[in-house]
Structure 1
Amino acid sequence: MNKTIYIAAGCFWGGEKYFSLIHGVLSTKVGYANGTTSNPTYEEVCHNNTGHAETVEIQYDDSILPLEKLLRLYYEVIDPTSVNKQGGDQGIQYRTGIYYIDEADLEIIKPSLEELAKKYDKPIAIEVKQLLHFYDAEEYHQKYLDKNPSGYCHIGQCAFDSAKNA
């Protein structure tokens, strides 16, 4: 069955590239989630207090890629204890988060985070909330690293390579 989940992993360029390479992911799109303004621009998200997170919309086939596996792969490319920061990017828009549209996904998300927490001494900082709003990012952000292969990314090439084999 095809499902959709929204994941914030810091800068959305790398998150989109990473998730798009995983077998079972049908499509990805970058945008801004769960903020306080309508139709924000990148400039507004970066410089104003809009509350939006840079987020990747992931459509996937859960018969090929169960949510449990997708979340495990997500945890491999973030620092789940970092607050509002991933790699060199810092600010509320770079927070980590899992935004669901299907309440049943919580039955998978919560135990997954509990298991993840056992691996760390610091608290897990991944925000888990129902998706309230998602606004597509500007076109130049879509598939950014495909268009700009040498663009900045906090997710390393080895992670992209392993995503292809996940």
Structure 2
Amino acid sequence: MASEIAVLGGGCFWCLEAVYQQVKGIEAVESGYTGGAGVNPSYEQVCGGQTGHAEVVKLRFDPQSISYREILEIFFTIHDPTTLNRQGNDVGTQYRSVIYYQNEIQHDTAKHIIAEMALVWDAPIVTELSPSQPYYKAEDYHQNYFQQHPFQGYCAFVVAPKLEKLREVFADKSKPE
């Protein structure tokens, strides 16, 4: 069976990238932008709110090793899907919680997971469910960011706890350290 693609936004792409790089069945993770206006936006344009793009990760995964549903279960565990246009101190539409589905099966799966998550979280789920849109790879310095800068402040205090949570809650889906 061929690889599939998932595109998710849940705050800073460094967090999602670092987490999904540690998940079994994820073949590639790339940080990028989607969901806005304009072609090939820069980080400065996206963070300045000029384009409406979200910071996202594009995942290539082996559906024989990990299901789309499992990818979304991880997604809803490692970020807060109840805060509109923010994750912690990261504020702006570029940090919105969003699932860009690639086909109707992904759409239906995401819709079901969102409904299930509404029963788990104490506040309403604000995660957007949107069809796939043009995707633009982020600048090279954003790729593998946590791996290159594990002791940088943001990585140590924001990204690292998400990795710990992945290993704690999804130990069976985590790659060995």
Task: Indicate whether the TM-score tops 0.5.
Answer: yes
Q: Which residue of 2 aligns with 1:29?
A: 30
Correspondence for 1:158 = 164
The CA distance in 2 between the partners of 1:104 and 1:120, in whole Å, is 24
Tell me by how many angstroms 1:32 deviates.
0.4
Ranges in structure 1 where 5+ consecutive residues have no aligned partner: none
Match of 2:75, SS state, is helix
Q: Which has the higher contact order (CA 8 A, sep 6+)?
A: 1
| Unmatched 5+ stretches in structure 2 | none
Q: How does 1:135-150 map to 2 (within 5 A)?
A: 135-150=136-151
TM-score, L = length of structure 1:
0.94
**One-letter identity of the residue aligned with 1:159:** K
Cα deviations by residue, 1:61-82 (Å, 9 ceiling, x for unpaired) = 1111011111111111111101
Residue number in structure 2 paired with 1:9: 10
Count of residue pairs brought into register by the alignment: 166
Change (3 A) 1:164 1:32: farther
Q: Which has the higher helix share?
A: 2
After TM superposition, list the pairs within 5 Å mapping 1:111-150 onto structure 2: 111-150=112-151
* Residue-by-residue CA offset, 1:76-101 (whole Å, 9 max, x unaligned): 11111010111221111001111011
Aligned partners of 1:109 and 1:95: how far apart in 2? 16
* Residue aligned with 2:17, SS: helix
3-state SS in 2 of match to 1:108:
helix
Give the CA RMSD over aligned residues: 1.4
Matches of 2:113 and 2:141 in 1, distance apart? 33
Question: In 2, Cα distance between the equivalents of 1:164 and 1:20?
Answer: 14
Give the counterpart letter for 1:128 in structure 2.
L
Q: Distance in 2 between matches of 1:111 and 1:160?
A: 22
| Greater CA drift, 119-128 or 8-17 | 119-128
Q: Which piece of structure 1 moves more, 105-114 or 136-145?
A: 105-114
Deviation at 1:164, TM superposition (A): 5.9
| Matching residue's letter, 1:69 | E
- Where does residue 81 of structure 2 map in the other structure? 80
